[in-house]
């Protein structure tokens, strides 16, 4: 199973949409340390969620995810 499928599986049962998105960011960080927009898009697609850009921007605005280097993201709290 690839990383995106594992993350989607771990996130699928997390509750409402907002919580699934946050768990996806945390799980991507656990798996990859930093993740790209491509990783993010693939994972949310497997979860059946749209508006990947808006979802990531919201996490950044809420300071749940940050961009340690251009184009790569990391969840702030990897222990939900």
Q: What is the pLDDT of residue 4?
A: 95
Q: Where are the domains of the chain?
A: 3-75
Phi, psi of 65 (to 5 degrees): -135, 145
pLDDT digits over 24-58, tens only? 999 999 999 999 999 999 999 999 998 999 999 99
Contacts of 31 (CB under 8 A, 6+ apart): 3, 6, 7
Which of these, 58, 56, 26, 23, lies nearest to 41 by C-alpha position? 56
H/E segment holding residue 16: none
Local structure of 12: helix, strand or coil: helix
Query: What's the rounded mean pLDDT across residues 59-65?
Result: 96
Q: How many CB atoms lie within 10 A of CB 63?
A: 9
pLDDT band, residue 64 (cuts 50/70/90): very high
């Amino acid at each position: 199973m690839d990383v995106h499928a594992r993350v989607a599986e771990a996130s699928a049962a997390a509750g409402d949409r907002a919580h699934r998105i946050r768990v996806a960011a945390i799980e991507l960080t656990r798996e990859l340390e930093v993740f790209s927009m491509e990783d993010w898009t693939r994972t949310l697609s497997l979860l059946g969620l749209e508006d990947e850009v808006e979802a990531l921007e919201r996490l950044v605005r809420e300071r749940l995810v940050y961009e340690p280097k251009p184009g790569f993201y990391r969840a702030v709290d990897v222990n939900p």
